[in-house]
Amino acid sequence: MVSFRCVNPIIIVDDLDKFGDSRVNGDPYSALSTLVENHSSRTLVDDYLGRPVDMSQISWIFTATETST
């Protein structure tokens, strides 16, 4: 079993308002919500590892130029 320890990593998602409305390649907002919500991020199953990963300690910073969208 591989175990990594990192205390509270930070992920920055820049220009969230530029994601657009197209859902051709999936819904980015739904994908991000599972990572940001504390209860779902604790037991997120990673598709590549095939195992649950605790992502609840991540701090997220989202930036946007337009707040109307």
Could you read off the pLDDT of 17-44 as tens digits, one per residue? Answer: 777 666 676 777 777 888 888 888 888 8
Q: Kindly give, in sequence order, each residue whose CB lies less than 8 Å from that of residue 10, ignoring residues fewer than 6 positions away.
A: 58, 59, 60, 61
Q: Kindly give, in sequence order, each residue whose CB lies less than 8 Å from that of residue 32, ignoring residues fewer than 6 positions away.
A: 13
Predicted confidence (pLDDT) at residue 45 exceeds the cutoff of 70: yes
Structure tokens at 66: 């337009």
pTM value?
Answer: 0.65
